[in-house]
Amino acid sequence: MATTNDIKNGSVLLIDGQLWNVQEFQHVKPGKGGAFVRTKMRNITSGKIIDKTFNAGAKVEFATVDRSDYEYLYIDGDDYVFMDVKTYDQILVPASVVGDAANFMLENQQVTIAMNEGTPLYLDMPASVVLEITYTEPGLQGDRSSAGTKPATVETGYVIQVPLFVEQGTKVKVDTRTGDYLGRVND
């Protein structure tokens, strides 16, 4: 059994029979009283986010989580099919587990899948991905300011906000955590 001193971002804790993923943690040592660990955790099955405080050194149970690299292949009904890049085994991951990552995944893209006892828990995407703009309204000639934005559809079908000068067919870098436009990519 581990203690709260072992908590890190990305740790998976087993609390009351449920798995919780630590999003943020902070070790606090006030002037008076004992130290404590403040955490922000997401329930892996429901997605609910809670703030929980533990006394420093309290015993917590970590869940065994295996992270492996997979390649996204295709959608099969409500499931996403991934292939293990080492063993070539294919697994089905429900859309509820894939979540918002589906907005940024292209076929043959590599992702890391966290598994607990053979059950997929969540996907770790790269911090940013390069996607091509498939549709956007044309920008006005000479409008090179960065003040305004317009909607643009990327090749996954997701709509992001881009500056007015970005045109259809442009490859852009997109933040996978927020869906924000990060810049153009030159080939």
How far is the first Cα of the chain from the last one, in angstroms, to the nearest whole number? 51
CATH number of the domain at 2-60, please? 2.30.30.30
Q: Is 70 exceeded by the pLDDT of residue 153? A: yes
CB atoms near residue 87 (< 10 Å): 8
Q: What is the pLDDT of residue 187?
A: 66
| pLDDT value of position 140 | 63
Query: In the chain, what are the domain boundaries?
Result: 2-60, 66-124, 128-184
Task: Yes or no: say if 26 and 54 are a contact pair by the CB < 8 Å rule.
Answer: no
**Position 145 pLDDT exceeds 60:** no
66-124 — its CATH code?
Answer: 2.40.50.140
Q: Considering the chain, what percentage of its residues have pLDDT values greater than 70?
A: 95
Tens digits of residue pLDDT in 121-142: 888 888 899 999 999 988 665 5
pLDDT digits (tens, 9 = 90+) for 34-63: 899 999 998 887 878 999 999 988 999 999
The total of other beta-carbon atoms located within 10 Å of residue 103's CB is 19
**Pick from 4, 15, 8: which is nearest to 44 by CA?**
15
| pTM, to two decimals | 0.74
- The percent of residues in the chain predicted with pLDDT above 90, rounded, is 50
d(CA 124, CA 154): 20
Second CATH level (architecture) for the domain 128-184: Beta Barrel (2.40)
* Cα–Cα distance measured from residue 52 to residue 55, given in angstroms and rounded to the nearest whole number: 10
Domains 66-124 and 128-184 share a fold: yes
